[in-house]
Amino acid sequence: MEHVIIIRYAEIHLKGKNRGYFERVFVANMEKSLRGIRHEIRRLSGRYLVENFNSSDVDKIVKKLSKVFGVHSLSVGFKVNSDMDEIFAAASEVSDDEGSFKVETHRADKTFALKSPEISARIGGRLLDANKRLKVDVHSPDFIINIDVRENGKTLVFNKFIGCADGMPVGTAGKGLLLLSGGIDSPVAGHMIAKRGMKIDCLHFHSYPYTNMQARQKVNDLAKILAEYNCGIKLSVISVKEIQEEIHKNCNGAYMVTLLRRFMMRLAERLSKHDGDQCIITGESLGQVASQTIEGMTSSNSVVESLPVLRPLCGFDKNEIIERSRQIGAYDISIRPYEDCCTVFLPDYPIIKPKLADVLAEEAKLDVDRLLNEAYSTLEVCEF
Ligand code: ATP
Ligand code: MG
């Protein structure tokens, strides 16, 4: 009896002529996620099979594959010869210890001596005989024993379906630059876009020594969470300390965040052009804070010359974002209490609905090009 993992994929099957391309990227991503773990991935019709791994690695493999975008569900089961005794042994192995069940059989091998309903009935009968705490319920069973008689003389037997990440394989929808703060929202925004198949790079702005090393560690840890879904991740980091000091010295304090955002966007676009990122992604949600009004977004958007800015959380409530943050395992990191650069020199009353003309008048008090060049020269890069 050989341990196997059955992989069912999500939307890829809807792809017509391009399906081969999507499947190749999908398999490459699964292989990347299982790097260093002994295994083989084989294609069956409409799904994949992981074989030849150590049984002690099952949980590790399931955890890793469940984060690969494109995987809809997984089942851990056994591969046996298409023989009723072997099928029964595998069915006993995957069966729960008690509760109601039914057996569902799919017979691809039409030469197999028994038809599907007969296989289900016989295996179900033997399971009942062997364990008095089981009972049959064909309408709403607690669990289902699935038997898949394949054409190659082998049969797959499994029980549970483990729900996975869904989405499209990362790398099939281009590449984008996520502005990653240490907060709750931006990791969720990155996850959502990666889920649609876009490979994510990250850019974080710090204001060291106003912001500390724990704040930086927090961002590294968030990037590592995203890396699990994104087949690795590149994190670029830029200091905006000088920019913030200059704004603080020269401009109306109420415009601190509004002006800073415009610098962030310009730096993001410059880095995107250099790294081949095709869009900028932020965790902004309409009206969540003063800088995320439509007027605030208009102000920060207007400095971006040629890239789309994706704001996938725009229509989400904070509660919905928190729920997703928990689901992807980022929440506990995001709520660590270290300051983001946006809280440095934070005014008591930030401007809520900035008029572009006023923003431009404040910005005119600064040497924008020099500040951009200096900030860009602080760029540091790491990979996770
Ligand atoms: P988050 O939870 O993502 O920090 P937030 O609700 O705190 O968001 P803001 O601080 O207004 O909102 O930030 C809005 C967006 O701007 C963030 O989601 C992020 O994409 C970007 N951003 C803010 N601060 C930084 C930073 N220090 N580095 C990189 N991007 C940032
Ligand atoms: Mg924030």
CATH code where residue 312 lies: 3.40.50.620
Predicted pLDDT at 338: 77
Q: Residue 198: is it exposed, middle or buried by C-beta count within 10 angstroms (0-12/13-18/19+)?
A: buried
Predicted pLDDT at 356: 94
Rounded to an integer, what distance in angstroms lies between the CA atom of residue 352 and that of residue 341? 19
Q: How far is the CA of 179 from the centre of ligand 1 (A)?
A: 7
Helix spans in the chain (H):
19-33, 58-65, 84-94, 116-130, 185-195, 213-230, 241-250, 256-275, 294-301, 318-327, 331-334, 356-363, 368-376
Q: Is residue 170 part of a domain?
A: no
- Together in a domain, 33 and 144: yes
Predicted pLDDT at 379: 98
Residue nearest to atom 31 of ligand 1 (CA): 181
- Together in a domain, 137 and 212: no
**Ligand nearest, relative to CA of residue 271:** 1
- Together in a domain, 285 and 372: yes
Q: How far is the CA of 283 from the centre of ligand 2 (A)?
A: 9
Residue where a domain terminates, one of 106, 133, 163: 163
- Together in a domain, 157 and 182: no
Residue where a domain terminates, one of 99, 134, 163: 163
Q: What is the chain's Cα-based Rg? A: 27
Residue nearest to atom 25 of ligand 1 (CA): 181
- Together in a domain, 47 and 111: yes
Indicate the SS3 state at residue 75. strand
* Contact (CB, 8 A) for 75 and 121: no
- Together in a domain, 61 and 193: no
Q: Is the dihedral of CA 379, 321, 256, 302 positive or negative?
A: positive
- Together in a domain, 184 and 122: no
Q: Is residue 187 part of a domain?
A: yes
What CATH number is given to the structural domain containing 65? Answer: 3.30.2130.30
How many residues are listed for the chain in this entry?
Answer: 384
Residue where a domain terminates, one of 138, 163, 188: 163
Work out which ligand 1 atom sits closest to the CA atom of 182.
Answer: 4
- Ligand 1 contact, 283 CB (< 6 A): yes
Indicate the SS3 state at residue 301. helix
**Ligand nearest, relative to CA of residue 341:** 1
Domain that holds residue 156: 2-163
Q: Is residue 169 part of a domain?
A: no
Work out which ligand 1 atom sits closest to the CA atom of 257.
Answer: 11
- Together in a domain, 187 and 291: yes
Residue nearest to atom 7 of ligand 1 (CA): 183
Helix spans in 233-311 (H):
241-250, 256-275, 294-301
Overall domain count for the chain: 2
pLDDT along the chain (384 residues), means of 10: 94 78 95 97 92 97 97 97 98 97 95 96 97 96 96 94 96 97 96 98 94 92 98 97 96 94 98 98 87 91 97 96 97 90 77 93 98 98 97
